[in-house]
Chain A
């Protein structure tokens, strides 16, 4: 009974990881400017990997294994945002502009695809 409970919880964690991963990927291609793409990619990617770790933590067979997974989670929480920060910092230092407000850009792209007047 206990094992079944744990497996169900782990499945929920893995499923949410999948949803976040796909959402981040869609955002990566959907948004127009580099910073927004970075937002979607890094944030949803971090949450996806974190959910997978949470699932493995629930399924961990022994306390020693769980302690190791906790340690890995700790290091991952430190390193993942640092990685995206380095990419963002170099984008910022290279002088990339932040672009126009998002809504108008997406509408304009949609207009272009429908063959309407773009600006």
Chain B
């Protein structure tokens, strides 16, 4: 019972801090009135939504608190991938040369947040779009398909991104 209670408080505090940082970034105001209003609003909203923001079963801080250095590095990686994949897509649009297929593979990531980010990143990377995400099983439409073997597909579609994300979240 005690553990449950502590976990509730931790989730509540993290939700409040996240909301307050967002408020502060949008207002960029050090005035007392602004800070008080933001704090009160964050507390109220956190009290209502902390169950949704961090689910009860995500019982590890590393499941949702990112490693700041790797997160910053990953942002640059994903922007590079975004432009690279768009160029490939432009070339495919012009030449009409592609081999689209629907492929399946599994992921090793454990937290909900990391899996969601992985699915979103797959949509960014060259010619892939996530169709379905069921626990650890991903269904992906791959535009430049050259194999349908699940392990080979997993390595070439998400191998690099998964290693990056595995360092940020568990």
Q: Contact residues of A with B, CB < 8 Å?
A: 19-20, 23-24, 26-27, 30-31, 33, 35-36, 38-40, 42-44, 46-47, 50, 64, 67-68, 71, 77-78, 81-82, 84-85, 88-89, 91-93, 98-99, 101-103, 106
Whether A20 and B90, one on each chain, are in contact in the complex, defined by CB atoms closer than 8 angstroms, is yes
Assuming the contacts A47-B83, A64-B28, asked whether A81 and B124 have C-beta atoms less than 8 A apart, the reply is: yes
Q: Are A43 and B130 in touch, CB under 8 angstroms?
A: no
Contact in complex: B93, A84 (CB < 8 Å): no
Interface pair A102/B123, CB less than 8 Å apart: no
B139 to chain A: closest residue by CB: A92
Contacts of B121 in A (CB 8 A): 81
For A64, the closest partner residue in chain B by CB is: B28
| B26 sits at the interface (CB 8 A) | yes
> Helix, strand, loop or mixed for chain A's interface?
helix
Contacts of B83 in A (CB 8 A): 47
Q: A34's closest neighbor in chain B, by CB?
A: B141
Given known contacts A68-B26, A78-B120, A84-B129, A43 and B86 CB-to-CB distance under 8 angstroms? yes
Determine which of B26, B93, B99, B130 lies in contact with A101 in the assembled complex, contact meaning CB atoms within 8 Å. B99
Q: Given A27-B89, A42-B123, list of 20 further CB < 8 A pairs? A: A23-B89, A24-B89, A24-B93, A31-B93, A35-B102, A35-B129, A38-B129, A39-B141, A42-B129, A43-B127, A67-B28, A68-B25, A78-B120, A81-B119, A81-B123, A81-B124, A84-B123, A84-B129, A88-B130, A92-B102
